[in-house]
Amino acid sequence: MAYIHEQRIQFFDTDKMQVTHHANYIRFFETARTEYLRSEGLPYSDMEKGDFQIPVLGVEAKFKTPSVYDELIAIECRIGKIAPASFEVEYEIRNAETGKVHVTGRSRHGFTDANLRPIPLKKKNPELYNFFMRLSEQDKK
Amino acid sequence: MAYIHEQRIQFFDTDKMQVTHHANYIRFFETARTEYLRSEGLPYSDMEKGDFQIPVLGVEAKFKTPSVYDELIAIECRIGKIAPASFEVEYEIRNAETGKVHVTGRSRHGFTDANLRPIPLKKKNPELYNFFMRLSEQDKK
Amino acid sequence: MAYIHEQRIQFFDTDKMQVTHHANYIRFFETARTEYLRSEGLPYSDMEKGDFQIPVLGVEAKFKTPSVYDELIAIECRIGKIAPASFEVEYEIRNAETGKVHVTGRSRHGFTDANLRPIPLKKKNPELYNFFMRLSEQDKK
Amino acid sequence: MAYIHEQRIQFFDTDKMQVTHHANYIRFFETARTEYLRSEGLPYSDMEKGDFQIPVLGVEAKFKTPSVYDELIAIECRIGKIAPASFEVEYEIRNAETGKVHVTGRSRHGFTDANLRPIPLKKKNPELYNFFMRLSEQDKK
């Protein structure tokens, strides 16, 4: 079961096509995955104190239908593939009421130290590695 | 030969990792392709008067190295594949002085009318279709 | 009694000083006043259907202390002075837990039609005018 | 004589009112004052290496007429009042061709060290203080 974060499209999220500007969805991805990790007991600010970061290595998105001002959207996110030094997150953004799909996407993240140097997490911090593994398992259900 | 747009990383482009926030590169892509089309005689505002738009259908980016505040970046963009009702643009963002690659990416766009309904451009507006074909050819050289 | 909207500082809200970038507070003002009007039964999207808008004529903000990533902030907003064709909103942004003040500010808005032409609201739409008057009274308590 | 920075309104700068979103002008102020200081030989990144910052203490703006997508704007900025530990910058944003005024505003900045602690600049770094004084004088002409 995936995590779902809801938020409302703000005026400043729209552009002159009168829909949400596409680049903002990349920010919505970030909000949802941060809230997901917090809800599981791992606030990102805690990670950073621990000399640990998960910078974005890549992102992709497909914009299927536009969302509009004042619309309540639901950003579903789930942990995807986990490698020794990176992992993926998958997203689906829908209208929170009708379920209509607006955007799908994924991001890839590295496990790094505070100076953005890659960390082989499985080896260096098995507890944190298992945390991500557990989320990934639970998201498949 | 591809088009190159240069711009400087602003303070508001950075985040607390002290590098450019990844979502901003998606905006930089937009700036570069708009400037490209203008430089070729097709300002996007003109397109819109002509009941024509090129909404973003999809985008992807790989973040290879960070760019930093005050850095001058060069955004190279070239028209990629052109289909009857869509086309692609490819991007490479580098440090303007050293040439170090920061980000690569691509976006896919539909040809639509002002109400975001797809237009088979080749059929409906062969002149505009040929404009994009010519750019694509010239970018391969 | 003023309206309070809470939200969390996101990664993309911060800049390389490792605090919230000042321009983002202007957006937070917008979010709070929109949510306020919705909570009182006047979603802004409804206003627009009614050929009515409240564009920002001016804004000011004082940045007293920085807010940081992952912090929960409380944006208090209250309707201030109401004139025949404009009104003010006042803001105070605090840490939601400690109450420490980060930012104070105000915005001034016109009552206009969909084409941004001023409307003497008191005369043209007394019901809507009274709605704003009622909020202003209630915010003073 | 004031410094003038020109830039073009991008698609992502607009909102569903089909004009530039007001909060973006606060970012334009920042771009212009940064470019101004660079043009005078003081890139902000250099300042920071010198354990020195100029955080924004306050900002205000009046939105007089809207600017639109693809418009070339001219952001005029001049150093205003200088106090021992702070200074002001004044802005006027116009259409670069017609001179029509869109926005006027001002920002107030502190002189601080890298940890945002105020510095009495006149005393601690007279050279830098005189740099700002010189700009202020020259902007009055």
pLDDT of residue A7 exceeding 80, the answer is yes
How confident is the prediction for chain B on average, in pLDDT?
92
Output the pLDDT for position D82: 93
User: In this complex, do A11 and C44 lie within 8 Å of one another by their Cβ atoms?
Assistant: yes
How large is the ipTM?
0.93
Chain A CB contacts of D70 below 8 Å: none
Which of B31, B44, B69 lies at the smallest CB-CB distance from D45? Answer: B69
How confident is the prediction for chain C on average, in pLDDT?
92
Instruction: Give buried/exposed letters for C14-44 (b at 16+ CB in 10 A, else e).
Output: bbbbebbbbbbbbbbbbbbbbbbbeeeebbb
Each residue's pLDDT tens digit, C64-110: 999 999 999 999 999 999 998 899 999 999 999 999 999 999 999 99
Name residue, tokens 């106090």. D83
User: In this complex, do B23 and A26 lie within 8 Å of one another by their Cβ atoms?
Assistant: yes
DSSP state of D116: S
Output the pLDDT for position D57: 97
Strand ranges across the sheet with C56-63: C3-8, C72-83, C86-95, C101-110, C56-63, D56-63, D101-110, D86-95, D72-83, D3-8
Candidates C67, C133, C78, C134; CA nearest to C103 is C67
Output the pLDDT for position C88: 97
Q: How far is B135 from chain A (nearest CA, A)?
A: 24
User: In this complex, do A58 and B56 lie within 8 Å of one another by their Cβ atoms?
Assistant: no
User: In this complex, do D62 and C58 lie within 8 Å of one another by their Cβ atoms?
Assistant: yes
CA gap A58, B22 in Å, rounded: 9
Q: Which residue has the higher pLDDT, B76 or A85?
A: B76
Each residue's pLDDT tens digit, A23-72: 999 999 999 999 999 999 887 777 777 778 899 999 999 999 999 999 99
- Chain C neighbors (3+ CB pairs < 8 Å): A, B, D
Output the pLDDT for position C103: 98
Does D118 contact chain C (CB < 8 Å)? no
Does A56 contact chain C (CB < 8 Å)? no
How confident is the prediction for chain D on average, in pLDDT?
92
- Chain D neighbors (3+ CB pairs < 8 Å): A, B, C
Candidates D59, D139, D74; CA nearest to D105 is D59
- Looking at residues D55-75, what average pLDDT do you find? 97
CA gap D88, D90 in Å, rounded: 7
Test the D interface: residue of B8, B53, B89 with most D CBs within 10 Å: B8
Q: How does strand D86-95 pair with strand B72-83?
A: unpaired
pLDDT of residue C7 exceeding 90, the answer is yes
Q: How far is C141 from chain A (nearest CA, A)?
A: 29
Can you name the residues that pair with B62 across neighbouring β-strands? A58, B104
DSSP state of C125: -
Candidates A110, A49, A101; CA nearest to A73 is A101
- State whether residue B9 is helix, strand or coil: coil
C 11-50: CB under 8 A from B = 11-12, 14-16, 18-19, 21, 23
pLDDT of residue A126 exceeding 90, the answer is no
Which of B27, B66, B116 lies at the smallest CB-CB distance from A23? Answer: B27
Output the pLDDT for position A45: 74
B 60-79: CB under 8 A from A = 60-63, 66
Candidates A63, A58, A44; CA nearest to A128 is A44
